[in-house]
């Protein structure tokens, strides 16, 4: 009897992001290489409305393997749902969903052991009602849209992927590889997943708690004043920054400053300052030999205890554990 392979269906539709579709199957294919041709692994098919070529957002055309009708009613192990975006006249990115694709996903999910979205594919799961009452993530650029349109979902824009029961959601672009590796680890163990990561020439396999968020990469604020203030904070992280100091810098009251931060960035000034300091500390932990005392001082935490507490709050780990997992090569002479 030939081995039974887990059946994975990747949803395909016009305008879909190319890497969302091709990244995960590459991971699953490399797993098969590691396990051997006769071993149990995955069988992956691309399913679309028809058998006609589908044009991705990158302009590359992909041929489906099957239609939605052909896999409807099948016993699917994992339904993988990628996403698509569009830009408005002001260059703002928004996730787009096709009602027919949403309906197909909702139907297929009924016979699926596990559902996973890649990047803004979370919006399709949300429209299908599969994320209500769950914690989920998506690409940071559409997280506010997801939260606004689906208040029943606990949207967390920080992690690179989240598992909530049998539903997995992943952040954007290259994080599809991390999500796929996590699925492999869940099915076949951590050791095989790490071997696949090595085949991908990935320096490390990031856990779900690794952040997709980077303070300097935040979308620009809606006002020039706030942008200037954010840059001021970045330049002066080692200083003792207070709400009073920041308010004086932009000539507003402390209450008004707090209101502006919450409106434009969705957080308090203190929370933003801590996030910025953690971001700089992360970079130093990854790329330098600096001691925790030195990092705490240069980032404005002053003491290692304060640094450790900030890391636990924002990343649910310690600086030492973070450095061990995410450390890159240190340049000679550093």
- pLDDT tens digits, 57-97: 999 999 999 999 999 989 999 999 999 999 877 667 899 99
DSSP secondary structure code for residue 120 in this structure: G
Lowest mean pLDDT among 86-90, 112-116, 137-141, 256-260: 86-90
Q: Is the pLDDT of residue 131 over 80?
A: yes
Write down the pLDDT at residue 300. Answer: 94
pLDDT band at 323 (very low <50, low <70, confident <90, very high): confident
pLDDT at 319 over 90: yes
- pLDDT, greater one: 114 or 331: 114
State the Cα–Cα distance between residues 208 and 325, nearest whole angstrom: 13
Residue 56 backbone class (left: φ over 0; alpha: ψ -120 to 50; beta: rest): beta
Contacts of 157 (CB under 8 A, 6+ apart): 137, 138, 140, 143, 144, 212, 213
pLDDT averaged over the chain? 87
CB 208 within 8 A of CB 182: yes
Q: Is residue 147 pLDDT above 70, yes or no?
A: yes
Q: What is the pLDDT of residue 286?
A: 80
Q: Which of 145, 142, 189, 139 is nearest to 162 (CA)?
A: 139
Flag whether pLDDT at 201 surpasses 80.
no
pLDDT in tens, 264-287: 777 889 988 998 899 889 888 888
Name which residue leads in pLDDT, 75 or 202.
75
Catalogue all structural domains in the chain, each as residue range(s) with its CATH number.
Answer: 6-199 (3.40.50.880), 215-326 (1.10.10.60)
pLDDT band, very low/low/confident/very high, at 223 (cuts 50, 70, 90): low
103 has pLDDT over 80: yes
Q: Residues with Cβ < 8 Å from 311, sequence gap 6 or more?
A: 278, 281, 317, 318, 319, 322
Is residue 217 pLDDT above 70, yes or no?
A: no
Of the listed ranges 13-22, 35-44, 195-204, the least confidently predicted one is 195-204
Structure pTM?
0.67
Q: Find how far residue 137's CA is from the centre of its chain.
A: 6
């Amino acid at each position: 009897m030939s081995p039974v392979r887990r059946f994975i269906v990747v949803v395909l539709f016009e305008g879909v992001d190319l890497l969302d579709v091709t990244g995960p199957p590459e991971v699953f294919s490399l797993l098969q290489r590691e396990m051997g041709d006769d071993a149990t692994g995955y069988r992956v098919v691309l399913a679309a409305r028809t058998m006609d070529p589908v044009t991705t957002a990158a302009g590359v055309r992909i041929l489906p393997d099957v239609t939605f009708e052909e896999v409807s009613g099948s016993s699917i192990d994992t339904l993988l749902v990628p996403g698509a975006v569009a830009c408005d006249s002001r260059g703002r990115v928004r996730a787009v969903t096709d009602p027919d694709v949403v309906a197909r996903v909702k139907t297929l999910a009924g016979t699926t052991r596990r559902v996973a979205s890649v990047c803004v594919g979370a919006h399709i799961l949300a429209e299908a009602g599969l994320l209500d009452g769950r914690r989920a993530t998506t690409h940071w650029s559409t997280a506010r849209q997801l939260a606004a349109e689906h208040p029943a979902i606990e949207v967390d824009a920080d992690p690179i992927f989240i598992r909530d029961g049998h539903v997995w959601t992943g952040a954007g672009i290259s994080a599809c590889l991390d999500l796929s590796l996590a699925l492999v680890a869940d099915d076949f163990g951590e050791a095989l997943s790490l071997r696949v990561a090595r085949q991908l020439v990935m320096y490390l396999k990031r856990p779900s708690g690794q952040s997709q968020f980077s303070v300097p990469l935040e979308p620009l604020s809606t006002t020039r004043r706030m942008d200037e203030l954010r840059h001021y904070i970045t330049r002066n992280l080692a200083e003792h920054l207070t709400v009073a100091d920041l308010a004086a810098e932009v000539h507003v009251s402390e209450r008004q400053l707090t209101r502006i931060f919450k409106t434009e960035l969705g957080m308090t000034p203190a929370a933003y300052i801590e996030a910025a300091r953690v971001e700089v500390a992360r970079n130093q932990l990854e790329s330098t030999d600096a001691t925790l005392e030195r990092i705490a001082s240069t980032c404005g935490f002053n003491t290692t205890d304060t640094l450790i507490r900030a890391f636990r709050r924002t990343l649910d780990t310690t600086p030492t554990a973070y450095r061990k997992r995410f450390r890159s090569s240190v340049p000679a002479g550093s």
